[in-house]
Amino acid sequence: MQGHIYVLSHPDHVRRVFVDNHQNYTKGIGIERVGILLGNGIMVSEGELWRRQRKMIQPLFHRDMIARMVEHIRGANLQLLEKWMACAEKNEEINLTQDMSEVTLNIVLRAIFGDELETIVSTHGSNPFALLTEETERNLTFAYKFRALSKLIMDCVSRRRAQNQEHCDLLAMLIDARERKSGEPMPDKQLLDEVMTLIVAGHETTASALNWMWYLLAQHPAVEQRLHQEIDSLPAPPATIEDAARLPYARQVIEETLRLYPPGWLLTRRSIDADDIGGYPIAPKTDVFISPYLVHRHPGFWADPERFDPKRFDAAHSAQRNRFCYLPFALGPRACIGEHFAMIEMILHTALLARRIRLRYLSRQPVELECQVNLRTKHSLYMMPEKRQ
């Protein structure tokens, strides 16, 4: 007989599963599907393998490393700005959803492959990773095509080992990472799975968050105006990780976007042994779904939860909040490893583009949600770019 499935929306229950009794849960059903795409990378692995890999990968996301990635974030966004300025000039609509997918893919690939990305693209005649933006389905056919990129990635790894040149990118750090006790590098298959994991985990989540953010900004002129004031107060376009820290309101806008539309809207776990979640007995091997979407709109913890209001994330409001009410990056030991990278990426993107361009949503059609692995808009959003004075 099929047992119960539980869907959690209360912060106390989130805390039980993600923090207080996290060792009693594996990732469960959602991740079994993702495993076809990501092999045994850190998003999927469990137990000792996960612990070892997490320790080896963590340094990739230290502040110093993120600071070095800012150059890639800027480069990709300035390219997009040029395109939007040209469209504004011609009164031409942009496909925002497509552009967010391309710019975030561009950023994550530049962060991983560094200067070698250009070589990969020119050798191929086009970007072999473009299928991530061209194909929206995340089914077996997609997984098959994506895994076919393995050879290209491993050729890149072999080339680097043979050349023995210095590179400053995430791939170089993965190749050089050593297990603390044994001093061993990760096996090639593991290295490959981790590269694929970073590409997929770092791309679609950020793309969908920024897609929603521009849509919300276009609907809320007062928020947009306050954001513009903050961005305009910087003496020059943001160029460093320190500049991102000078944009607290931009951060709040993004945090509020992630509250209303968390890309990871439904996270799954499976119990190992029996548990008790808020008085509900949980049998071993029970599927427990944690919904950031529901927690983030819980009327017991958020005032007027459907309203877009970045003020909720100012220091005063944040200090009063139960910290298990907000989990766009999950919580506890399995929380997102790329959170700080993603936040810097999204703040700089917003500041670099909104400094010069405003986007208008002209369609009268209400936006529809698509709730697959990520929470996306069902259809591409078309927006009209306008130059700001």
| Residues in touch with ligand HEM (CB under 6 A) | 27, 42-43, 54, 108, 197-198, 201-202, 205-206, 209, 263-264, 267, 328-330, 334, 336-338, 341-342
d(CA 222, CA 343): 23
CB of 292 or CB of 385, closer to ligand HEM: 292
d(CA 108, CA 189): 20
CB of 87 or CB of 373, closer to ligand HEM: 373
CB 196 within 8 A of CB 39: yes
In whole angstroms, the minimum distance from the beta carbon of 384 to ligand HEM comes to: 25
In whole angstroms, the minimum distance from the beta carbon of 47 to ligand HEM comes to: 12
CB of 88 or CB of 345, closer to ligand HEM: 345
Query: Using CB atoms, what's the residue nearest to ligand HEM?
Result: 338
In whole angstroms, the minimum distance from the beta carbon of 27 to ligand HEM comes to: 6
Mapping DSSP onto H, E and C, the string for 244-273 reads HHCCHHHHHHHHHHHHHCCCCCCEEEEECC
CB of 295 or CB of 381, closer to ligand HEM: 295
Strand order in the sheet with 382-387: 94-95, 382-387, 357-360
In whole angstroms, the minimum distance from the beta carbon of 346 to ligand HEM comes to: 7
363 residue type, one letter = S
Distances in Å between the Cα of 24 and the Cα atoms of 127, 151, 249 are 42, 37, 38
In whole angstroms, the minimum distance from the beta carbon of 198 to ligand HEM comes to: 5
**Tokens coding 332:** 């506890």
CB of 87 or CB of 195, closer to ligand HEM: 195
Residue appearing with tokens 């050349």: 163
Q: 226-241 in b/e burial notation, b at 16+ Cβ within 10 A?
A: bbbebbeeeeebbeeb
CB of 209 or CB of 354, closer to ligand HEM: 209
In whole angstroms, the minimum distance from the beta carbon of 332 to ligand HEM comes to: 9
d(CA 338, CA 104): 13
**Tokens coding 72:** 């890639």
